[in-house]
Structure 1
Amino acid sequence: LGLVWAVGKNLIYWKLYKPDYVPDSLMSYFHGTMTSTYVFICWSGLYIGIKYYQLLQEQRQQTLRANALAHEAQLKMLRYQLNPHFLFNTLNAISTLILDRDNETANRAVTRLSDFLRYTLHNDPLKKISLEQELKSLSLYLEIEKVRFQERLEVELDIGKKASKALVPSLITQPIIENAIKYAVAPREEGGRLRISAHVIQGRLVMELEDDGPGLDGNERAREGRGVGLSNTRERLAQMYGDQYSLELTRAQPSGLRVIIALPYET
């Protein structure tokens, strides 16, 4: 190709600028062949390099899209693992209310259950919402549980004004509260108390979810890994925040379990 390019270039040059020129030898037609060959190799290398870079970029984008889709699918899977025991217990409580002819309370419970399930199914698990919205959805859940436990379940809230505007993953607190009800309220005849607090401390949202149940029973590691709820919460937070979050289990005073979640403060 370099040879052809050199011959063509020489013929065009002679025709345009030296119309009366007659080559004195055959080699005159091949003058500049090496230079043309080098230029052609350089242009070819540049073209191949650009095409290779574009191919790498396309493959990189495909890998990023695949990772994003996998990330989204994993979060949705974790988000939609609604505890079937919660549904079973709620429906059983509603059935008992109907048998006792307490239709008004039963109707209220069905309405709350419907609202809560609609919220969990329609809300995007990848979307962050304000803590104020999160607590409203949590109140739906707690109202359903109060149908079962009535006065045995007490809830105390301590939410800072600034903290209420912070963004958090949707339904991030519900599995922890569900665990607290399962282990601290349901097994005890007298029921139990739940305390939920949230404040902004040194640029981080710090949430504390506390019960007055048996606590860690002297085996912190066993309790930390108990239940799908806590492990799902850890995985969701790890997916969304990486190493920018913390989740700790401590003993509440005088008794009980305290779950402390710290997240970057975002609005």
Structure 2
Amino acid sequence: MNTRVDEIADGIFRLSTFVPEVAAPAGFTFNQFLILGDEPLLFHTGPRRMFPLVREAVGRLMPPEHLRWISFGHVEADECGAMNEWLAIAPHALVAHGETAVSVSLNDLADRTPRMLRDGEVIALGGGKRVRYLDTPHTPHAWEAAVVYEESTGTLLCGDLFTQVGEGPALVSGDIVGPAVAAEDLFRYSSLNPNMGTTIRSLAGLSPRTLGLMHGPAFSGDGSTALRALADDYDRRAQLREVDADHAEAA
């Protein structure tokens, strides 16, 4: 395996490792995002076994030991499995996440006391970069789920939202909703709930110009329209589940 590095917005880099054995025969990408600034931030660490690849990729852009912030969508191996490896090599780095993740998991799992973020709180990274933390509980899954939005470039790093299989270009401007719908049909990975559509539409209100997918290409274009279309599909799924539940109860 090797890790590809591509700039998807000014000062924001996608670090992508393609693993053909996952979701074979299509394969699956595992992406991290590095935002450069006076206090660089890494969104997703990758699993522990992928740490040497990701560290080498970061090293092409900056000294890895200068990393200042580590964040991710939720507590899961591919999102934060290597966080303690990063804390070990970057002496000034801190994990930054919301109250739920910190209180329930990260105060115990992280080798250095994490920074707890409020919903909507902004971290100024320097160099004009400002990252806003946003709670998205149970969307697409996990109580502590969250995304981050880099304000200067209009880039939403959206974790598992829009997950798709296969390997392709680092940055696309075409349809990302259709492949995401197909991946949901394949994996059934989302925690369907009545609030999913509302939560995703709230992200559409940011009018992002770039979407950073953890599994799949980054997207450049009208992020609001893509997010609303994804929200519509989750509304449809939630309504179908409710109908099925009503039918089961009636039977």
Query: What TM-score do the two structures reach when normalised by structure 1?
Result: 0.27
The structure with more helix, counted as a fraction of residues: 1
- The structure whose Rg is larger is 1
Query: What TM-score do the two structures reach when normalised by structure 2?
Result: 0.28
